[in-house]
Structure 1
């Protein structure tokens, strides 16, 4: 068989197509490249996003907003001291972007003081997205932030 430029072009095309097929198959079959949506009902959550915007606006109008501190015991969430802590309700959601199995939600039922402690054993070092959706006397507030623990 004689090797000429036509044979080289055909072999180059076959090599390129083989490489692309290998790349596509390995991307679809590998567990390292699985990407999930943040929520299962992404589009339904997007329609309710205006409520979140209103809650964030309410939070920004407070004289003192929710804050957090990293302590040796864990993550301490501090609510505004001007509010009666027994009347604060809501949920704290911690989302780990790199591992969905580490995500968890904690309810804010009745606080004895204006602090909520998330134990250190529940938090792995790294990046977390924290979302605190809380209510006080019929008003809803939302605090969102990315933290490095």
Structure 2
């Protein structure tokens, strides 16, 4: 059987399309190549975006904002000293971009201006920290990307 140019081009296209379809099917069916959204409730968070902007502006208007430091015991979150710590409420959310199974949230419960997140809960690497807190009916938000 003799192949001409037209048959060769058609066979090349069929081979190329088969090659591409193999990888598309493999990527969609294999759990190793999971393609989740960044967060589970992405659309709900998008609707709350303006509220978060307002909270961040409130935090920026403070004379002193939240700070953090790495200690031997863990991650120490320091709240502003000029604010009465007993009236602070809220939650701290730590988000691990590389693996959502390590994400966790803890409520803010202070006995002084410091909140310690134990070292055993944090793996080395990049974390996004979000502190959503309230003081005297005014909401604040602190966001930071940290490398622990």
Give the TM-score range, shorter chain.
over 0.9
- Unpaired segments ≥5 residues, structure 1: none
Q: Residue 44 of structure 1 aligns with which residue?
A: 44
- Unpaired segments ≥5 residues, structure 2: none
Q: Residue 115 of structure 2 aligns with which residue?
A: 116
For residues 12-91 of structure 1, what are the structure 2 equivalents within 5 Å?
12-91=12-91
TM-score of the aligned structures, taking structure 1 as reference length: 0.95
Q: Residue 145 of structure 2 aligns with which residue?
A: 146
Deviation for aligned residue 1:95: 0.5
Distance between the aligned counterparts of 2:144 and 2:14, measured in 1?
50
Deviation for aligned residue 1:39: 3.2
Distance between the aligned counterparts of 1:47 and 1:3, measured in 2?
60
1:85-137 deviation digits (Å, cap 9, x = unpaired): 1111100000011111000000002x111000001110011111100000111
Task: Count residues in correspondence.
Answer: 148
Distance between the aligned counterparts of 1:40 and 1:140, measured in 2?
24
Provide runs of 4+ in structure 1 moved above 4 Å. none
Across the aligned residues of Structure 1 and Structure 2, the Cα RMSD in angstroms comes to 1.1
Distance between the aligned counterparts of 1:78 and 1:41, measured in 2?
29
Q: Does 1:92 align with 2:118?
A: no
Q: Secondary structure at the match of 2:72?
A: coil
Distance between the aligned counterparts of 1:41 and 1:23, measured in 2?
29
When structure 1 is superposed on structure 2, of 24-33 and 88-97 the one drifting more is 24-33
